[in-house]
Structure formats: C-alpha cells, structure tokens
Amino acid sequence: AGMAGARTVLVTGCDGGLGLGLVKALLELPSPPQHLFAACLNPDSKVGRHLRPPSQFLWGRDITDPASIKEAAAAVSERLRGAGLNLLLTGAGPARRRGTLASETAETMLLSYAANTVGPLQVCQVSPGPAAPLGLSPRHLRPLPVCPQAFLPLLLEAARAGGAMSCSRAAIVNLSSRLGSIAATPAWERGQDIGYRCSKAALNMLTKCLALEYGGSGILCVALAPGCVMPPVDSETEPVSLEESTRGILHVLATLSATSNGAFLDWRGQSLPW
C-alpha cells in the first residue's frame, strides 16, 4: 500500500525548505493524499499557493505553542470527521542555530529543544499534564505545558482500521538529523552545533519512546534524517538537493513496516547509528 494508502497526512513546518518541499512532493504523487494538512507560521507562506481542495493550509500553527497545537488538532478533526490521521510528519522546522561549546547559551539551547524536541512531543500527546516552565528559560520564552488533546486521538482512530503497520495505516515520522547521532557525531570539525545536535539526539530518544508506547496500538514511529538539503550548509558530509531528499523520503515512507518501528533511518532508507 505504501504512501498510496495514506489518505490523510499532516506536515508541520511548511513555511519553506523541506516542509514545503514535502507538501509539493506529496501533491505530485500519482495518488496524492485525500486530505493534506500543511501547518505554517506565516499566513503568506508559499505553501498556500500549492494546496488545492480538500487540502488545507493551517497557518499560524506553532508546534511550540500548546494553544496553537490544540486549535490545529480541532481544525483537522473537524475536517476529517472521524476518518483518522494516517501520517504525521513533524520536525521540519527552523534552520539550526550555530553554537560551539564556548558560545552556546541557555537561551539558544532551549530554543533548539523547544522547536526540535518539545514541539514534536506535544503534537503526539493526549493527556494533559502540569504546566511547568522549561528550567532555565529566559523571561521572554513562554512556558511549554503539555498540550491536551492533540493529534494522538486522530492517529489512534486511523490505527483502529486495522492492517499491517505502515504509513498508510497510522504513523508518526519525526524528521531528525545525522547530527543527532551520538555514535557517529559526523562533521564535528566543521561545526559543533551543540544545541542542534543535542535536541536532535533527544528527538531520536523521543521517537524510540513513542514507538515503545504506541507501537502496540498500531502506530508506527520512526526518526528520519532528510540529509543536508541544498544549498549545503558546511557541517554535514553529503549535501543533497531538496528534490532528491523529498523523493527519497517519500520512497522510504512507502517501505516502512512493523520492523521499522523505533528505527533511525536516512532519506535513502539506510539505518543510522544512534
């Protein structure tokens, strides 16, 4: 079935770059999703020009803001009317902030975690929890409480339809990075990227936890590295064009199965070291 069976798809971070590229690639499939939701911060985002009914442009949706996530989940649920969400693609976010061991600050570290780790956690949660600020958060950074009633109920609804684990049934795919690999630590000499590396390593652990918790309910959870998308930044070893990356990602999504649950893969489908 692969991607052909993924009738309902949500992609976050679609203001540009990889998120926008994935939306365009999904729409160009021979059998595109019946419902494609593109979550963006900017109402003037380019993605709105590409969507066509019944796809939906969810602008002003910030995955670090629980109220914004709740509004997006309500909008998606209303449109789907009980159909469930087959695929949640999360993590296509802002460009990484550079930081060395000497220059990294609490502020930039927390911003990286908010975008790359806490945000993806919140869109996958269902039960409300205590609203506590993030440890060393500067005063202008908003506390990030747990988001109640986000997209998990929609994924569970899709999973209840049954069938083998796949992106056409129910899946959470978190877009990670090779820089989050603790074992490999690629391109260290060309860019330490402390906050980014740490936040993506944490995202990988989060993905593994999601796989352990939700796999029994039929939801497939995978961390997927899209490669160093062109124009290349100088701290990953193998630059790849946006078109190559998005085509590769869609091919990998079509091949995921129960054996992939909790895996860390790249855009070519190769396993990456944790």
Tens of pLDDT, residue by residue over 20-40, are 899 999 999 998 999 999 888
In-domain check, residue 260: yes
DSSP state of 117: I
CA count, 13 A, side-chain hemisphere, 247? 5
In-domain check, residue 272: no
If phi > 0 it is left, if psi is from -120 to 50 it is alpha, else beta; for residue 223 that is beta
Tens of pLDDT, residue by residue over 39-94, are 887 766 777 777 776 678 777 667 778 888 888 888 899 999 888 999 999 976 65
pLDDT of residue 142: 40
In-domain check, residue 90: yes
pLDDT of residue 22: 93
% pLDDT > 70, the chain: 82
In-domain check, residue 1: no
Which structural domain, as residue segments, surrounds residue 28?
A: 8-128+145-266
Tally of structural domains, the chain: 1
CATH number for 209 = 3.40.50.720
**Band of the pLDDT at 129, cuts 50, 70, 90?**
very low
Tens of pLDDT, residue by residue over 189-213, are 777 889 999 999 999 999 999 999 9
% pLDDT > 90, the chain: 45
